[in-house]
Amino acid sequence: MKKKLLSIIIVILLVAGLFWIYNYFFGPSVVQGEKTVTLEIANQKTGDDFSRVLTTEGETLYDLLLEQQNELAIVFEKYDFGFMVVGMLNYQATNENQEYFHLAVGGEDAMTGPQGIALADGETYSFSLRSFNDFSASASAGVEKTLTLEIINEKTKENFSEVLTTKSETLHDLLMEFKEQAGVVTEASGSDSEIIGLRGYVPEKTEYFHSFINGQEAVTGPKTTPLKDGGVYRFELRSFSEEVLAPSEGELKTITFEVVHDEAGLDFSEVFETNLQTLGDWLVKQEAQLEVVMEEYDFGTVVISFFSHEADAENQEYYHLTVDGVDATSGPDQIELTDGGIYRFELRKY
């Protein structure tokens, strides 16, 4: 019995030690305490040129963005590697428009997502709407760089690693330049070619090539990943689940639901009983009664109207959500219903 207990203690200590080592060497070097930083958002398409000095005790850029999520209409999209910003100031960057929000820290391109960036006192964090096409025009006029390309595929026992010298500007251009060595498989897409496989392997329906930059998960695709001298760019074959879960039900709960629109004189408040698990599922069920209009995005559901009173995006309006009087940090799909909870939507302006 004592030997078994000792073994368990040793295992716990080893796990704790590995966790500490990972955070020490690979996690963001967080700074404790209050920090003053500058957050910038530029969108030439809408004319937005936002800049604000903020004081926060958050440790990472993701923490800061969560604090400002409702006021700045920040929309996240969740991936296996973490959260990526896809919307700001009521503008949604879409793949259809070949757009994304580019992130720079102190004027330098960020190599990780917001969760991997530690806040530093006095630093500037800049988001700017860009097009995937911004990179292609300058790809041939780059500075020579030496970097490492790695492609790992446990399914085929592939373990490719090669040091390359290039003037390409993006990871996509690098792959196309060294198409033969990387075993790039392409597929025609309009007037362009999309990379669909590496080292001659095309992922199956439930697989994909996950990319890393210097050991950190990449937050953009190859077309928008800039190359840096000495960088290590790695692809690993991974799989994901395609299982789609139906709305889950649990114990019966009593909730209060409120909608406020001062200009329209709307002040709705009513108590409901439900056994649904999330606010998103409940809103779908109450769609007719509340005359709720929602828009579906890859990241989840956004409410744009109640009782025929629509939030006017051109007038910088949105429905602000609070749960028990506290600003929500996620959309309705991610908010679990609790017995006695108060869920309030209020029309506001940015």
Sign of CA dihedral 321, 323, 325, 326: negative
| Bigger pLDDT: 17 vs 72 | 72
pLDDT score at 249: 59
Mean pLDDT is highest, among 13-22, 211-220, 292-301, 307-316, for 307-316
pLDDT over 90 at 302, yes or no: no
Lowest-pLDDT range of 14-18, 121-125, 181-185: 14-18
Do the Cβ atoms of 100 and 111 come closer than 8 Å?
Answer: no
Average pLDDT over residues 201-219: 84
Q: Contact at 8 Å (CB) between 88 and 148?
A: no
Q: What is the pLDDT of residues 221-232, one digit of tens each?
A: 787 788 889 999
Q: What is the pLDDT of residue 226?
A: 86
With pLDDT > 90 as the criterion, what percentage of the chain qualifies?
39
Among 94-98, 197-201, 261-265, which is the least confidently predicted range? Answer: 94-98
pLDDT of residue 181: 93
What pLDDT is stored for residue 8 in this prediction? Answer: 41
What is the pairing mode between strands 300-306 and 75-79?
Answer: unpaired
What span, in angstroms and rounded, lies between the C-alpha atoms of 202 and 211? Answer: 15
Closest to 30 measured CA to CA, from 61, 54, 52: 61
Long-range contacts of 263-267 (CB under 8 A, 24+ apart): 263/347, 264/309, 264/347, 266/306, 266/307, 266/309
State phi, psi for 247 to the nearest 5 degrees: -55, 130
**Calpha distance 28→39 (Å, rounded):** 19
Q: What is the pLDDT of residues 49-99, one digit of tens each?
A: 899 999 999 999 999 999 999 999 999 887 656 678 989 999 988 877 778
| pLDDT one-digit tens code per residue, 112-159 | 788 888 899 999 999 999 876 554 444 434 689 999 999 999 999 999
Task: Give the closest residue to 195 by CA, choosing from 213, 169, 221, 216.
Answer: 221
Q: How far is CA 222 from CA 76, 130, 226, 278, 298, in A?
A: 20, 14, 8, 35, 20
Q: Does the pLDDT of residue 311 top 80, yes or no?
A: yes
Sheet (strand 207-213) strand order: 158-166, 145-153, 232-239, 207-213, 216-217
- Tokens 């368990």 belong to 8
Element (H or E) spanning 209, and its range?
A: strand 207-213
CB-CB contact of 179 with 164 (8 Å): no
Question: Considering the chain, what percentage of its residues have pLDDT values greater than 70?
Answer: 80
- Does residue 100 carry a pLDDT above 90? no
R_g (Cα) of the chain, nearest Å: 24
- At residue 126, the pLDDT reads 94
Side-by-side strand order, sheet with 82-88? 75-79, 82-88, 91-92
**Cβ neighbours of 348 (radius 10 Å):** 17
Which has the closest alpha carbon to 228: 214, 245, 218, 243? Answer: 214
Domains and CATH numbers, the chain: 35-131 (2.170.130.30), 136-239 (2.170.130.30), 249-349 (2.170.130.30)
∠ at Cα 297 (300, 133), nearest 5°? 135
Q: Is 92 helix (H, G, I), strand (E, B) or coil?
A: strand
Average pLDDT over every residue of 32-49? 89
pLDDT of 83 reads: 78
Ranges of beta strands (E only) in 248-339 are 249-261, 266-276, 293-297, 300-306, 309-310, 317-323, 326-327
Least confident of 157-166, 253-262, 283-292: 283-292
Average pLDDT, the chain: 81
Q: What is the dihedral of CA 295, 300, 306, 310, to 10 degrees?
A: -50
Stretch 292-311: mean pLDDT: 82
Average pLDDT over residues 198-206: 89
Average the pLDDT over 313-333 and give the result: 87
Phi, psi of 165 (to 5 degrees): -115, 130
